[in-house]
Amino acid sequence: MSRVVLYIDERAISVPRGATVAAAVATATSRFRVSSGGAPRAAVCGMGVCFECRVRIDAALHQRACMVRARDGMRVTTAAGSAAHE
């Protein structure tokens, strides 16, 4: 099976072609973002309903990682990678 390489918080992660960004992030870290109260958040539903897996993808804020397929060279920023990430 072919693979793609994307960057999660500047760390190169290789996942099978067709995998979601959420799968790639889960490989790299357990924190997708931080709630307004400071609690770590991660993917819950895996189908775009809960919005808990929001990350920055190629400078676009609040992308649902479970709804986006990983692509070669994609840059993803999570709460673990950026304290200012919302």
Q: Which helix (H) or strand (E) holds 28?
A: helix 21-28
Please write the tens of the pLDDT for every residue from 50-72: 988 999 999 999 999 999 999 99
The domains found in the chain, sorted by start residue, are 3-77 (3.10.20.30)
Evaluate whether 21 touches 69 at the Cβ level (below 8 Å). yes
pLDDT in the model for residue 1: 79
| pLDDT exceeds 50 at position 86 | no
DSSP states along 52-75: TTEEEETTEEEEEGGGSB--TT-E
Task: Give the pLDDT confidence score for residue 43 in this predicted structure.
Answer: 86
At 85 the pLDDT is 42
Read off the pLDDT of residues 1-54 as tens digits, 9 standing for 90 and up. Answer: 799 999 999 999 999 999 999 999 999 887 888 888 888 888 889 899 998 899
